[in-house]
């Protein structure tokens, strides 16, 4: 029996800090590393099948794999929702909750990228593109997909990548074979499912020769009632030679990328585009498109045969984020004895951060419950608020109390019960304590009350008080009993127990609450406000913003910063729809619900070095990608780090921009918010989003991308992408297949390292993995002159079946340490 494990690679780059030091001293840090998805060969060549991403024939009506995947997937989700969720459409299902709908769209976008990337990643495998009459292989590949998908069900990213490969082949069938010529725009139901119809034999001529090979050649196919596809040179296949002057031969794919079109039988059959020069069968492009969209839908949700049936509803919903907003309570029960001071501080900070982000938006919890417990039980008290600002005010005033009872345990059960009584059904309760429960005998009562309302009770336990007691009472006994009360409740109610240090409470909260109440804020802008600048800053606020949040660090009181509307009016925070808070961590936060769309002015009343972050809840969202251009002009996603001074394209998929929305400029900004370069954008409205793109030369410093445009009502907007792009001058290219690895067999992972800088450098290339499957050498050192490179290999040998193996290849600069 052969068992396979799945291989997945990453590249880790340590940036060329030495070069950066000259202009950016403050940038030097040992920790400037980033993990990036890897990198196959970056010498890109050809395009094939439908166009992957960009419309290379210049016709805006040409449909690419991106369009097909988006259309087919959205249709599938729509169908799923109609037949399983009792709603009439996707929009009904999400009912105005754009955030959750956008998260769904993000999944669709991830899938369409995976489909498009397959064209490049699998460029040398003919059957993936249904080329060279290898349609049987393509058919069997699609048949094997469902098992491959099941194997990846615990890693949604890998699942999407695999699904992308499967859909790529399914879609390519309609552009690259003669199916559409025979049957028009309908789906071939058996493809990838049951028995394939006849395919032309190897020695069988399939096309008429046509000397005019750069144009349309309708009716050139000569086989009847069987499938055939075109050959495509430099795509893992070579067209069988025919004598010059022969009138028939094998078909070609056709188009400028395919030199086989010049060999008998000349011309081609692809339906990739609407332009004859690119697609000899361009007249069938629309039919190929419709069939490919329908085939995409069928592969996902067709009754009886779709992926949905294989993976089940739960996974399908997780993959596409088919999830409706639930009105849930954000509930906390907090031990407020004096030892809890740090915990309470962390809770305060977190709650303020989260609420100022979401209050007034569809991401806001439906209501809030705060239960405070202590010893004696008469000190317990619980509150419920529907107004987020009221909750913030209450949390702001939380103080710990030294009780008159000097022992550790508190009346936690009473505190939990009080919270449950005030909470909505189906909501999570978080308990914060560092001690035992003094009323642990009420455990069953707590479990029953929680289960009656389907409330999960999770606890965050910090250790201070337990430790104090341990020394007095004998350690193991104490800690076991302290955990068991909370653990038993968690177990019986579907919650968790998180033991954490006080310093880590914020992070733990972020993970737990961020998951249940996602805030999905977008960044409007972020910048350093130095003392030498003017004391006014204009901020662009568009008409789509549900909550605007301005955070200032470096201020020392909330009155240090004021906000003025375009009409000159000062915001006074008295409307009940806005607030301004100075937090215990030294940050001033302004939060405003539904601000009028126009420029507002931020005024600094006390001059200090400030850092300003402006975020919002808004429907206009952006997904971004850096692309590089292949030799033939197709755009492929950048794998690994971008190289200084190379040319790249940034593509922004802007959604919910509205029919009249426009984008104008893309700027690259440095870590202080300074503009590094500014670029005109090109804009293309697509079915599901608007594409805004610009070409740029990679700067030598790290940068973010900022988009400027106008929303649907003509009001200016800005959006900044959170991701930082960091340049490097060393290029690491990994050359290995990510196909499944056979258990017990060695897989070589080749790489090429190139010095793309201007001086000689010494690099270390190393490999590591999460299953200790790496065999032999793990680090190799290279001294390379500018422009030079070298090749090497590492080996992995899987010894455990059915795992996803994460391999990390890293290149680091040897001299790094000398400069720190
Ligand atoms: C799906 O297939 C089942 C069994 O073949 C059938 O009962 C059901 O009506 C079909 N549903 C749809 C929507 O076609
Ligand atoms: C209980 O609550 C969880 C979390 O909100 C929810 O997913 C689940 O469907 C609920 N169960 C029932 C039976 O309502
Ligand atoms: C801010 O905007 C106002 C009016 O829109 C303009 O007069 C002023 O010059 C701008 N200020 C800055 C610092 O750009
Ligand atoms: C100025 O604009 C703000 C925000 O829209 C509004 O609340 C205020 O009433 C306006 N003031 C005047 C004088 O028009
Ligand atoms: C501003 O936002 C960035 C990125 O989201 C974050 O790392 C930083 O901590 C934020 N700064 C403040 C002052 O909130
Ligand atoms: C980048 O593009 C510019 C202008 O199109 C061109 O002159 C330059 O050679 C390109 N640089 C690289 C490294 O390809
Ligand atoms: C690495 O190997 C490839 C393929 O064998 C070759 O084309 C390339 O020139 C080599 N690179 C270096 C830097 O030796």
User: Which three-class secondary structure state does DSSP give residue 262?
Assistant: helix
For the segment 372-395, what is each residue's pLDDT rounded down to a tens digit?
Answer: 998 888 888 999 999 999 999 999
d(CA 425, CA 630): 55
Dist. CA 550–CA 547, nearest whole Å: 10
Contacts of 301 (CB under 8 A, 6+ apart): 76, 79, 80, 307, 308
Burial class (CB in 10 A: 0-12, 13-18, 19+), 451: middle
Please report where in the chains the tokens 């202009």 appear, as a residue: 23
How is residue 301 written in tokens?
A: 């949700």
Q: How far apart are CA 713 and CA 296, in angstroms?
A: 35
Q: Residue whose CA is closest, atom 6 of ligand 3?
A: 538
Q: What is the pLDDT of residue 33?
A: 24
Question: In terms of pLDDT, which residue wins out, 709 or 20?
Answer: 709
The answer to whether residues 114 and 16 belong to one domain is no
Residues 164 and 192 in one domain: yes
* Residues framing ligand 3 (Cβ under 6 A): 534, 536, 538, 599
pLDDT of residue 500: 86
Higher pLDDT among residues 644 and 455, named by residue: 455
Residue 448 lies in a domain: yes
Instruction: Report the CATH number that the domain containing residue 351 is assigned in CATH.
Output: 3.40.50.410
The H or E element spanning position 360 is none
Residue 544 burial class via C-beta count within 10 angstroms: exposed 0-12, middle 13-18, buried 19 and up? buried
CB of 596 sitting under 6 A from ligand 4: yes
Share of the chain above pLDDT 90, in %: 59
CA-CA distance, 749 to 754, in Å (whole number)?
Answer: 17
Q: Which residues contact 256 (CB under 8 A, 6 or more apart)?
A: 214, 277, 278, 632
Q: Is the pLDDT of residue 814 over 60?
A: no
> Which 3 state secondary structure label does DSSP give 483?
helix
399 lies in the same domain as 362:
yes
Q: Are residues 487 and 397 in the same domain?
A: yes
* 303 Cα: distance to centroid of ligand 1 (angstroms): 6
Count up the domains in the chain and report the number: 4
Pairing between β-strand 682-685 and β-strand 635-637 as defined by DSSP bridges: unpaired
The candidate with the shortest Cα–Cα distance to 280, out of 175, 185, 205, 199, is 175
- Examine residue 303 and state whether it is found in any structural domain, yes or no: yes
Q: How far is the CA of 591 from the centre of ligand 4 (A)?
A: 17
Mean pLDDT of 774-783: 91
Element (H, E) at 540: strand 536-541
Provide the token pair at 374. Answer: 């202590």
Q: Answer whether residue 789 shows pLDDT above 80.
A: yes
Q: Give yes or no for residue 805 having a pLDDT over 80.
A: no
Tens-place pLDDT, residues 489-530: 999 999 999 988 888 888 888 888 888 888 888 999 999 999
Cβ of 327 below 6 Å from ligand 2: no
At 813, which helix (H) or strand (E)?
strand 804-813
CB 629 less than 6 A from any atom of ligand 6: no
747, 796 contact by CB (below 8 A): yes
In which element (H, E) is residue 818 found? none
**Range list of H helices, 321-458:** 341-358, 388-396, 412-422, 443-452
User: Are 33 and 70 members of one domain?
Assistant: no
Burial 161-174 (b: 16+ CB within 10 A, else e): bbbbbbbbbbbbbb
DSSP state of 349: H
The pairs formed by 784-787 with CB atoms below 8 angstroms and a separation of 24 or more are: 784/753, 784/754, 784/755, 784/760, 785/755, 785/760, 786/755, 786/757, 786/758, 786/759, 786/760, 787/754, 787/755, 787/756
pLDDT tens figures, 269-327: 999 999 999 999 999 999 999 999 999 999 999 998 999 999 999 999 999 999 888 89
pLDDT over threshold 70, residue 438: yes
Ligand closest to CA 538: 3
The Cα angle at residue 718 between residues 716 and 722, in degrees rounded to 5: 170
Average pLDDT for the chain = 86
Task: Kindly report the protein residue whose alpha carbon is nearest to atom 5 of ligand 7.
Answer: 791
Residue 66 pLDDT level (bands cut at 50, 70, 90) = very high
Q: Is the CB of 647 under 6 A from ligand 6?
A: yes
**What are the structure tokens assigned to 394, written together?**
């209450």
Does residue 169 fall inside a structural domain? yes
Contact, 391 vs 370, CB < 8 A? yes
Q: In this predicted model, what pLDDT tens digit does every residue of 172-203 receive, in sequence order?
A: 999 999 999 999 999 999 999 999 999 999 99
Q: How far apart are CA 123 and CA 707, in angstroms?
A: 33
Shortest-distance atom of ligand 5 to CA 613:
1
Find residue 654's DSSP bridge partners.
Answer: 622, 690
CA dist., res. 520 & res. 323, Å (int):
15
Supply 490's token pair.
């968690």
- Token pair for 502: 């006080």
Mean pLDDT of the region 323-335: 91
Element containing residue 372 per DSSP (H, E): strand 367-373
**What would the mean pLDDT of 583-595 be, rounded to a whole number?**
91
> Do 447 and 340 have their domain in common?
yes
Overall average pLDDT of the 785-789 stretch? 92
For residue 781, the domain's CATH number is: 2.60.40.10
Give the alpha-carbon dihedral of 806, 810, 816, 820, to 10 degrees.
Answer: -20
Residue with tokens 């919650």: 495
User: Does 570 reside within a domain?
Assistant: yes
462 lies in the same domain as 345: yes
Report residue 404's pLDDT band, with 50, 70 and 90 as the boundaries.
low
Q: Do 484 and 602 fall within a single domain?
A: no
Locate tokens 């690099």: which residue?
A: 763
* Nearest atom in ligand 4 to 568's CA: 1
Distance CA 702, CA 690 (A): 26
CB atoms within 10 A of CB 659: 7
User: Taking phi first (over 0 means left), then psi (-120 to 50 degrees means alpha), and beta for anything else, what does residue 814 get?
Assistant: alpha
Angle between helices 285-301 and 65-84 (to 10 degrees): 40
Strand 690-697 and strand 704-710: the pairing is: unpaired
Cβ-Cβ contacts under 8 Å for 162 (sequence gap 6 or more) = 145, 148, 149, 152
pLDDT in tens, 135-175: 999 999 999 999 999 988 888 988 999 999 999 999 999 99
Q: Considering only CA atoms, which residue is closest to atom 11 of ligand 1?
A: 303
pLDDT exceeds 50 at position 209 = yes
Task: Tell whether ligand 5 has an atom less than 6 A from the beta carbon of residue 611.
Answer: yes
Report d(CA 269, CA 201) in Å as an integer.
18
- Residue 530 near ligand 2, beta carbon < 6 Å: no
Q: Using CA atoms, how far apart are residues 29 and 17, in angstroms rounded to an integer?
A: 8
* Predicted structure pTM score: 0.82
Strand duo 497-499 + 456-461: pairing: parallel
Q: By C-alpha distance, which of 113, 156, 71, 118 is closest to 626?
A: 113
Cis (ω within 30 of 0) for the bond into 505?
A: no
567: Cβ below 6 Å to ligand 4? yes
CA angle 795, 796, 797 (to 5 degrees): 125
Joined together, the tokens standing for residue 792 give 């090497």
pLDDT for residue 229 is more than 70: yes
CA dihedral 51, 55, 61, 63 (to 10 degrees): 20
Which residue, of 474, 489, 513, is where some domain finishes? 513
308, 269: one domain: yes
Tell which one of 427, 454, 517, 518 to mutate to probe ligand 2, the residue whose CB is within 8 A of the most ligand atoms. Answer: 454
528 lines ligand 5 (CB under 6 A): no
Pairing of strands 587-593, 428-433: unpaired
- Count of CB atoms within 10 A of residue 677's CB? 13
What tokens were used for 805?
Answer: 């193996």
In order of 134, 701, 728, the CA distances from 20 in angstroms are 50, 7, 10
Nearest-CA residue for atom 14 of ligand 1 = 303
Instruction: Report the residue among 31, 507, 613 best suited for mutation to probe ligand 5: largest number of ligand atoms under 8 A from its CB.
Output: 613
Cβ count near 631 (within 10 Å): 10
Q: What pLDDT digit, counting tens, does each position of 673-693 carry?
A: 999 999 999 998 888 899 999
Same domain assignment for residues 29 and 148: no
Domain membership flag for residue 172: yes
Is any atom of ligand 6 closer than 6 Å to the C-beta of 695? no
Q: DSSP secondary-structure letter at 261?
A: G
CA atoms within 13 A of residue 733's CA, in its CB half-sphere: 15
Q: How far is the CA of 487 from the centre of ligand 2 (A)?
A: 20
Out of 32-36, 375-379, 439-443, 511-515, least confident range:
32-36
- How many CB atoms are located within 10 Å of the residue 580 CB? 19
Domain membership of residue 788 (yes or no) is: yes
pLDDT recorded at residue 54: 67
Q: Which of 513, 540, 566 is the last residue of a domain?
A: 513
C-alpha of residue 593 to centroid of ligand 4, in Å: 14
* 702 and 747 fall within a common domain: no
Angle between helices 135-151 and 307-320 (to 10 degrees): 60
791 lines ligand 7 (CB under 6 A): yes
Q: In angstroms, rounded to a whole number, what is the distance separating the alpha carbons of residues 738 and 435?
A: 50
Phi, then psi, of 506 in degrees rounded to 5:
-55, -45
Q: Is residue 19 classed as helix, strand or coil in its secondary structure?
A: helix
Average pLDDT over residues 88-116: 91
Q: State whether 424 and 534 are in the same domain.
A: no
Q: How far is the CA of 327 from the centre of ligand 3 (A)?
A: 42
Which tens digit of pLDDT belongs to each residue from 81-96? 999 999 999 999 998 7
Q: How many angstroms separate the CA atoms of 355 and 509, rounded? A: 13
- Tokens found for residue 218: 């309708």
Say which range, 260-264, 383-387, 398-402, 581-585, has the weakest mean pLDDT: 398-402
Distance CA 147, CA 241 (A): 38
Q: Which atom of ligand 7 is nearest to the CA of 753?
A: 13
List 693's β-bridge partners, or say none: 651, 682
Map tokens 């290339």 to a residue.
765
The closest alpha carbon to 307, from 111, 117, 122, belongs to 111
User: Residue 755: its pLDDT value, please?
Assistant: 87
In contact, 358 and 364? CB cutoff 8 Å = yes
Domain-located, residue 633: no
Residue 587 sits at φ, ψ, to 5 deg, of -120, 135
Please identify, by atom number, the ligand 7 atom nearest to the C-alpha of residue 791: 1
Where is the domain boundary, 513, 541, 574? 513
Q: Tell the residue nearest (CA) to atom 3 of ligand 2.
A: 426
Q: Which residues contact 608 (CB under 8 A, 6 or more apart)?
A: 531, 554, 555, 556, 560
**Higher per-residue pLDDT: 480 or 619:** 619
The residue range of the domain holding 471 is: 329-513
- Residue nearest (by alpha carbon) to ligand 5 atom 10: 613
Pick the ligand that lies closest to the CA of residue 628: 6
Looking at all shown ligands, the one closest to residue 428's CA atom is 2
For the Cβ of 646 lying below 6 angstroms from any atom of ligand 6, the answer is yes
Distance 627 CA to ligand 7 centre (A): 24
Domain assignment present for 71: yes
- Paired tokens of 579: 């607030």
**Of the ranges 454-468, 551-565, 717-731, which is most confident?**
551-565
Residue 29 pLDDT grade (very low, low, confident, very high; cuts 50, 70, 90): very low
């Amino acid at each position: 029996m052969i068992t396979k494990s799945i291989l997945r690679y990453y590249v880790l780059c340590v940036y060329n800090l030495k070069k950066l030091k000259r202009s950016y001293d403050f940038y030097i840090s040992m920790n400037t590393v980033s993990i990036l998805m890897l990198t196959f060969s970056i010498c890109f060549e050809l395009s094939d099948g439908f166009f992957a991403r960009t419309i290379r024939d210049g016709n805006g009506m040409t449909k690419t794999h991106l369009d097909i995947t988006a259309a087919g997937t959205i249709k599938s989700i729509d169908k799923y929702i109609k037949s399983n969720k009792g709603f009439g459409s996707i929009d009904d299902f999400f009912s105005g909750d754009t955030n959750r709908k956008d998260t769904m769209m993000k999944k669709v976008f991830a899938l369409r990228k995976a489909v498009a990337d397959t064209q490049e990643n699998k460029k040398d495998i003919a059957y993936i593109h249904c080329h060279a009459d290898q349609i049987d292989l393509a058919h069997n590949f699609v048949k094997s997909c469902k098992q491959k998908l099941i194997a990846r069900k615990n890693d949604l990213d890998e699942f999407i990548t695999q699904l992308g490969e499967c859909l790529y082949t399914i879609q390519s069938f309609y552009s690259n074979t003669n199916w559409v010529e025979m049957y028009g725009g309908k789906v071939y139901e058996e493809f990838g499912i049951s028995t394939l119809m006849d395919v032309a034999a190897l020695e069988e001529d399939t096309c008429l020769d046509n000397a005019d090979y750069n144009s349309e050649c309708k009716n050139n196919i000569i086989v009847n009632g069987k499938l055939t596809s075109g050959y495509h040179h430099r795509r893992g296949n070579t067209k069988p030679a025919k004598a010059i002057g022969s009138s028939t031969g094998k078909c070609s794919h056709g188009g400028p990328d395919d030199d086989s079109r010049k060999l008998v039988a000349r011309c081609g059959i692809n339906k990739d585009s609407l332009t004859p020069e690119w697609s000899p069968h361009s007249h069938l492009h629309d039919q190929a498109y419709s069939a490919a969209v329908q085939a995409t839908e069928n592969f996902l949700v067709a009754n009886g045969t779709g992926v949905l049936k294989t993976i089940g509803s739960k996974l399908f919903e997780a993959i596409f984020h088919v999830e409706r907003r639930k009105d849930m309570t954000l509930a906390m029960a907090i031990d407020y004895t004096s030892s809890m001071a740090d915990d309470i501080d962390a809770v305060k900070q977190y709650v303020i951060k989260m609420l100022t982000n979401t209050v007034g938006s569809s991401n806001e919890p439906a209501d809030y419950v705060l239960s405070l417990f202590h010893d004696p039980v008469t000190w317990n008290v619980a509150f419920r608020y529907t107004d987020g600002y009221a909750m913030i005010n209450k949390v702001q005033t939380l103080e710990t109390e030294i009780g008159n009872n000097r022992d550790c345990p508190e009346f936690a059960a009473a505190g939990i019960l009080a919270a449950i009584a005030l909470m909505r059904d189906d909501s999570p309760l978080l308990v914060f304590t560092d001690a035992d429960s003094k009323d642990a005998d009420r455990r069953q009562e707590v479990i029953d009350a929680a289960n009656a309302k389907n409330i999960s009770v999770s606890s965050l336990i910090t250790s201070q008080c337990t430790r104090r007691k341990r020394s007095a009472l004998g350690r193991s006994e104490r800690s076991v009993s302290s955990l068991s009360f909370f653990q038993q409740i968690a177990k019986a109610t579907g919650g968790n127990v998180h033991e954490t240090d006080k310093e880590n409470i914020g992070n733990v909260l972020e993970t737990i609450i961020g998951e249940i109440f996602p805030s999905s804020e977008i960044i409007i802008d972020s910048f350093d406000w130095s003392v030498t600048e003017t004391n006014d800053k204009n901020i662009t606020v568009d008409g789509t913003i549900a909550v605007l949040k301005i955070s200032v660090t470096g201020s020392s009181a909330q009155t240090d910063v004021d906000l003025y509307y375009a009409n000159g009016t000062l915001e006074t925070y008295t409307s009940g729809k806005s607030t301004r808070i100075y937090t215990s961590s030294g940050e001033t936060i302004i939060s405003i619900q539904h601000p009028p769309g126009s420029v507002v002015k931020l005024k600094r009343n006390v001059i200090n070095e400030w850092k300003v972050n402006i975020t919002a809840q808004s429907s206009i969202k952006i997904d971004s990608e850096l692309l590089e251009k292949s030799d033939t002009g197709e755009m492929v996603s950048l794998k690994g780090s971008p190289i200084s001074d190379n040319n790249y394209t940034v593509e922004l998929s802007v959604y919910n921009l509205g029919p009249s929305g426009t984008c104008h400029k893309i700027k690259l900004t440095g870590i202080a918010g300074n503009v590094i370069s500014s670029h005109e954008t090109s804009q293309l409205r697509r079915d599901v989003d608007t594409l805004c793109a610009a070409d740029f030369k990679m700067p030598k410093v790290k940068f973010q991308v900022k988009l400027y445009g106008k929303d649907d009502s003509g009001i200016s907007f800005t959006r900044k992408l959170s991701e930082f792009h960091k340049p490097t001058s060393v290029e690491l290219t990994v050359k290995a297949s990510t196909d499944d690895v056979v258990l017990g067999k060695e897989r070589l992972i080749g790489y090429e390292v190139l010095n793309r800088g201007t001086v000689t450098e010494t690099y270390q290339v190393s490999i590591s993995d999460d299953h200790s499957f790496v065999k032999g050498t793990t680090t190799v050192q290279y001294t390379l002159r500018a422009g030079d490179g070298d090749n090497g290999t590492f080996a992995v040998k899987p010894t455990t079946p059915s795992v996803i193996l994460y391999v990390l290849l890293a290149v680091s600069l040897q001299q790094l340490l000398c400069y720190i």
